[in-house]
Amino acid sequence: MRQGVVLGAVLALVGAAAPGGRCARATPRATCVAADPAPWSLTAGRPEVTSLALRSPWPTALESPSFASSADGSSGAAENVPQALWGERAQVLLRSMTIPGWGQAMLGHPTAATTFALADLAIWTSYAAFRIQENMRLNSSSETARLFAGIDLSGRDDSFRRNVGAYPSSDLYNIYVVRREAANLYFGDPAAYNAYIAAHQLTGSDSWYWASEGAFNQYRDQRKSAQEAARRANTALAFAFANRMLSALHAARLVHPEGDGSPTGWRLEYTPSPSDPTAFQIGVSARF
């Protein structure tokens, strides 16, 4: 009697699982799937399950998405991937990188176009102003050196101008620089020592002498002001480049492939590392 009850219960359970190869009362954590088309057979009056496989309804951490291939071997999912760059978007990018706001104007966004264009105009105006300021202060320093140090700096390189602002006179430069270098190079050889000094010391039109400490400090301040204006001009160039990049990205977000109404935005993605099950790879993707 007991064997009959057990046999009936087992037959009912296996019969319920037979049509689809799955357990009728599957738990949320696992689903019984028969690996053999005929998962059970009746042998010697007792049901025998030949093989059962457990498959979780959720992908594990080590599983990665796979794409079915078509008959010719190409991936079917790749056909649905939108193009990141096509004719219209490339044209918008090039226009916005050439003149910020041009791409927005072409797409019918006058407010954004005006914003980027005005920003670019302000940046280039600042650049021109800083370059003019640099040249004016360099000219002022040259005039100061001519009047108070007796030297003409026209056509001189920046290294010579820096030496004029570093030493009160050319005689001190000859002592602290030329003679020291000669001693380091030709110590113990008087002939070579004197020859080096005669070849490198500053004399004649290359000599200077500052008449007052105030004029000397004024020259140094004018040079520092010119260098600061040059740094600001270079910063303006960096802003001009950044404004073009922002304009190009903004314009690219305004145009989509034909029939693609997907929204633009940012997304944080993380996936398990293929080499280490306990590690994750995190990245930021942008759709535009």
CA distance 77 to 70: 9
Q: Tell me: pLDDT of 130 over 70.
A: yes
What pLDDT does residue 71 have? 43
**Distance between CA 89 and CA 92 in Å, rounded?**
5
Q: What confidence tens digit (pLDDT) does each residue in 167-180 have? A: 999 999 999 999 99
Domain ranges of the chain: 2-55, 87-255
For residue range 64-94, what is the model confidence (pLDDT) as tens digits?
444 334 444 444 444 444 444 456 777 888 8
The H-assigned helical ranges of the chain are: 2-17, 87-98, 102-106, 110-148, 158-166, 170-173, 179-185, 190-200, 213-253
Averaged pLDDT for residues 97-125: 92
Q: How far apart are CA 219 and CA 149, in angstroms?
A: 10
Q: What is the mean pLDDT of the chain?
A: 75
